[in-house]
Amino acid sequence: MENKSKEKEIISLEKSALEEWNRGNPSEYLKIYSKDITYFDPFQEKRLDGLDAVEKLYERLRGNISVEKYEMLNPVVEICQDMAVLSYNLISCSGHDVYRWNCTEVYRMEADNQWKIIHNHWSLVNTQ
């Protein structure tokens, strides 16, 4: 698979997961996370290690997220063999609230020929 095709696939996976997340459903992200994921979230005190830890967090959030519109800006996918790094800026809107995020994810091609996220890092953008 050439790199452009891989880039499109990874961005498509991310957008599908974001669409569901915005409706309060974290299941699409959980499907594309590897079992050994590491996860940084600005609202967590420390890194979460493993799918079980991330799933616990996400189940507490299920149904409580409602994003009316979002925009993924400047997505870049860097690919090296069976690894890829996706980074982008995200603007999400809920009512009158606007949130600006930075996201970096490391994807790995798994044995079943599926891209899985092995590392996810979210940070809020300081707009002041």
**In this predicted model, what pLDDT tens digit does every residue of 83-108 receive, in sequence order?**
999 999 999 999 999 999 999 999 99
State yes or no: pLDDT of 1 exceeds 60: no
**Mean pLDDT, the chain, whole residue set:** 95
Structure confidence at residue 126 (pLDDT): 83
User: How many domains, the chain?
Assistant: 1
What predicted TM-score, i.e. pTM, was given to this entire model?
0.92
Cβ atoms within 10 Å, residue 33: 23
Residue 10 contacts residue 115 (beta carbons within 8 Å): yes
| Res. 2 pLDDT band, cuts 50 70 90 | confident
| CATH number of the domain residue 110 falls in | 3.10.450.50
**In this predicted model, what pLDDT tens digit does every residue of 58-79 receive, in sequence order?**
999 999 999 999 999 999 999 9
Amino acid (1-letter code) at residue 125: V
Residue 6 contacts residue 84 (beta carbons within 8 Å): yes
Range of the domain at 111: 3-124
Q: How far is CA 62 from CA 10, 57, 85, in A?
A: 24, 9, 26
CA dihedral of 31, 25, 73, 116, whole degrees rounded to 10 = -10
